[in-house]
Amino acid sequence: MQFRSQNKGNFLNGNKAENDFSSHSPSVLVILASIATTITVLSQISNVNLTFFYGIGWVIVAAFCLNNSGSKIIFRGFSLIFAIGLLAFAFYCCVCYLVTGEPGYIRGHFIAVLKTALLYIVGMVFAAYGLGNNELRSILFVYVTVTVIYSTWVLINYIPSFTTWLNSEVYFFPQKNSFGQVAGVGAICAAAIKARTKGGDLLRWAVYAYLVFVIAAVQCRTALLGCIVGTMVVLCVSGKRKFASLR
């Protein structure tokens, strides 16, 4: 899958070239992405299934990027085979649902595969749009904020006293693995966002420590390991950039 865009800006350093779409488009995209991010994360603590709503939200984000940057999605090679396979799998799930009456074929199997495809497409289109550093920082800030809310909800509702937690032989939070992915990414984002003040720097590391603590409390070892490794990579990349700027 390839994306051709009229936006010639540098995505990594946030520099933007002149383009033919309106100057307020990045702000609109930040708002749309922030809303979709909030619904996606907080859907984990909602009693209502919000999969449809955050799915539509990310589709709107992708459509906005394509419409305002002049990008085009080109399917070729593996991406073309994957798209055909996805359509075939959708047809298979629909037939199974009609024959058996079991909604799990649609709500479970197909939705799980569709989420993966949607994540990839939205991520590629979003990257091709070429947002600047300030816009990306704003979206990451929203993600980290709602992740802290989610983590606090888990801590209050599922983690008992320290003594009970220490002596327990079962997991208190059944969805610990999915939570670990969300909180782990949030912690890495907190480590990656550069604060403009010393107070902000202390705050982001406090948030990082808090998220790591909750991940450890729910006993999600894989997410904890991934979080530590990801943080080390972020720090190494950041250190190399600082060293290169001094040369």
The answer, yes or no, to whether residue 22 has pLDDT greater than 50, is no
Scored b (16 or more CB within 10 A) or e, 18-55 reads ebeeeeebbeebbebbbbbbbbbbbebeeeeeeeeebb
Q: How many contiguous H segments (helices) and E segments (strands) does the chain have?
A: 10, 2
- pLDDT at residue 142, as a whole number: 94
User: Torsions phi, psi of 2, nearest 5?
Assistant: -120, 155
The pLDDT confidence band at residue 143, using thresholds 50, 70 and 90, is very high
Highest mean pLDDT among 126-130, 138-142, 243-247: 138-142
The pLDDT confidence band at residue 244, using thresholds 50, 70 and 90, is very low
Does 126 or 41 have the greater pLDDT score? Answer: 41
- pLDDT at residue 168, as a whole number: 65
Average pLDDT of every residue of the chain: 80
At a CB cut-off of 8 Å and minimum separation 6, what does 198 contact?
none
- pLDDT at residue 153, as a whole number: 92
- pLDDT at residue 71, as a whole number: 59
Q: What is the mean pLDDT of residues 226-242?
A: 81
Distance CA 212, CA 155 (A): 12
What would the pLDDT profile of 27-64 be if each residue is shown by its tens digit?
Answer: 888 999 999 999 999 988 877 778 788 888 888 888 88
Angle ∠(149,134,187) on CA atoms, nearest 5: 35
Does 65 or 169 have the greater pLDDT score? Answer: 65
- pLDDT at residue 211, as a whole number: 95
The answer, yes or no, to whether residue 86 has pLDDT greater than 80, is yes
CB 117 within 8 A of CB 105: no
- pLDDT at residue 107, as a whole number: 79
What would the pLDDT profile of 155-169 be if each residue is shown by its tens digit?
Answer: 888 877 766 666 665
- pLDDT at residue 170, as a whole number: 63
The answer, yes or no, to whether residue 147 has pLDDT greater than 80, is yes
What would the pLDDT profile of 88-113 be if each residue is shown by its tens digit?
Answer: 998 999 999 899 888 888 878 888 88
The answer, yes or no, to whether residue 193 has pLDDT greater than 60, is yes
- pLDDT at residue 169, as a whole number: 58
Specify the amino acid at residue 13. Answer: N
